[in-house]
Amino acid sequence: MSDTASLQKTALHGVHQKLGARLVEFGGWHMPVQYTGIVDEHKAVRESAGVFDISHMGEFYISGTGAHAFLNGLLTNDAGKLAVGQGQYTLMLNDNAGVIDDLILYRLRDVEFLLVVNAAKIAEDRAWIQQRLPAGVTFEDRSAATGALALQGPRSLQIARALLGAGWPMPEHNQITAYSWNCQPVFAARTGYTGEDGVEFFFPAEIAEAFFAALLEAGKPLGLKPTGLGARDTLRLEACLPLNGNDLSPKRTPLEAGLGAFVSLTKAEDFPGKDVLLKQKAGGVNEKLVAFRLTQGGPPPRAHYALFLGETRVGEVTSGAPSPTLGCGIGLAYVEIEFAEPGTKLELEVRGARVPVEVVKKPFYKRAK
């Protein structure tokens, strides 16, 4: 066990310990990896609902009349498409079009935006944004003062309604609404990282314990469970949602990662990496992030395992796990473009042995609508 004293803790740290969670280091934070077990929690989210403490994630507020243009020159997606109350997945790139971070951008008001960023990237993202901040645009990092919970699973909306009451303005897909709970402001966004329907709540850190307890109570009759980062990882992997630091990195572009849908190369503003992406789009990518699964059983894939075709190394795994839903090992890997087509048969090298795998269409899991 590493020394946990130096790790950052969310406002719910003590509650997780009381609930019997196993806590581990994640991106500099001491976070629950599981409560009852990863597979058990994974199934709860697929079948009823789970709630994740995501208070470690960062919340930045960017406002001012120039905010919209500034964000369009900072991030890949087109913020101009966002109506007030809408959110979008977007990426922040370096000058080589490598990924600094992937994030959700919400338009709270005409000239006010909320960015939700990865926990391990808060300091780096903040520095990158502040260096570029023009006059007339205000930046505020409210990460430390903000608590956040992700309620995920088919019964999420029913649970949120039970907690917040008939007056709660339920957000549509990718929307965010503001409401009040016990006289405290609570944002609810219809977003998530599991492949299920769900709501992500953002609220003052002071009410984290009370809000978490009330949510668990409201969800109890509907099978809601506290769920940890272990299940969050297998859930997001089945849904083929990338994890920054694994599937995304400063050396990989969003086009290589298959995230072209979240990159606007036609908007007026230039953003870091745009010129590189224009060239890459014209010339095509050499490697691509693909989904693959084991076809005949065997050990689960893990990050950094190699993929082979005969004696030729053709790719490297960036994420892998046994899939509780599919019942076999699954993974994401960057492979040379000629081997990226679904149906391509490759071999995974595990501890010197070869295991047959097949490239498959993304995602592994898609919920019934």
Distance of closest approach, residue 230 Cβ to other proteins, in angstroms:
6
Instruction: Assess contact for 314 and 282: CB atoms under 8 A.
Output: no
Which residue lies nearer to other proteins by CB, 73 or 228? Answer: 228
Which residue lies nearer to other proteins by CB, 78 or 233? Answer: 233
Helix axes 208-219, 156-164, angle to 10 degrees: 120
Distance of closest approach, residue 350 Cβ to other proteins, in angstroms:
9
Distance CA 139, CA 141 (A): 7
- Region binding other proteins by CB under 8 A among candidate stretches 67-75, 215-223, 317-325, 357-365: 317-325
Tell how far CA 78 is from the center of its chain. Answer: 19
Q: Is 33 in the site for other proteins (CB under 8 A)?
A: yes
- Region binding other proteins by CB under 8 A among candidate stretches 151-159, 211-219, 259-267, 299-307: 299-307
SS3 248: strand
Distance CA 68, CA 346 (A): 45
Q: Is 34 in the site for other proteins (CB under 8 A)?
A: yes
Residues forming beta bridges with residue 88, ordered by sequence position: 105
Q: Is 322 in the site for other proteins (CB under 8 A)?
A: yes
Which of 90, 97, 43, 49 shows the shortest CA–CA distance to 225? 49
Number of residues located near other proteins, criterion CB under 8 A: 17
Stated as kind and residue range, the H or E segment containing 329 is strand 329-336
With CB under 8 A as the contact rule, the residue among 204, 298, 308, 326 that binds other proteins is 298
Distance CA 106, CA 55 (A): 17
Token duo for residue 113: 């935006």
Which residue lies nearer to other proteins by CB, 24 or 240? Answer: 24
Hey, which residues between 114 and 143 contact other proteins (CB under 8 A)? none
- Region binding other proteins by CB under 8 A among candidate stretches 32-40, 125-133, 168-176, 189-197: 32-40
> DSSP label at 4?
-
Which of 151, 128, 147 shows the shortest CA–CA distance to 139? 128
The number of C-alpha atoms within 13 Å of 51 and in the hemisphere containing its C-beta is: 28
With CB under 8 A as the contact rule, the residue among 209, 300, 325, 326 that binds other proteins is 300
Name the residue type at position 356: P
Hey, which residues between 7 and 26 contact other proteins (CB under 8 A)? 22
With CB under 8 A as the contact rule, the residue among 32, 192, 198, 230 that binds other proteins is 230
Angstrom CA distances, 24 to 29, 58, 230, stand at 8, 19, 10
- Region binding other proteins by CB under 8 A among candidate stretches 29-37, 116-124, 249-257, 273-281: 29-37
Which residue lies nearer to other proteins by CB, 37 or 169? Answer: 37
> DSSP label at 300?
P
CA angle 306/309/315 to nearest 5° reads: 35
Contact string (CB under 8 A) for other proteins, positions 334-363, x = contact: -----------------x------------
Q: Is 105 in the site for other proteins (CB under 8 A)?
A: no
Q: Is 299 in the site for other proteins (CB under 8 A)?
A: yes
Distance of closest approach, residue 6 Cβ to other proteins, in angstroms:
20
Distance CA 29, CA 6 (A): 9
Q: Which residues of 161-174 are buried (b: 16+ CB within 10 A; e: fewer)?
A: ebbbeeebeebeeb
Which residue lies nearer to other proteins by CB, 1 or 166? Answer: 1
Stated as kind and residue range, the H or E segment containing 162 is helix 156-164
Q: Is 267 in the site for other proteins (CB under 8 A)?
A: no
Distance of closest approach, residue 140 Cβ to other proteins, in angstroms:
36
Distance of closest approach, residue 300 Cβ to other proteins, in angstroms:
6
- Note the residues at the interface with other proteins (CB under 8 A): 22, 33-34, 37-39, 230, 233-234, 298-300, 302, 321-322, 324, 351
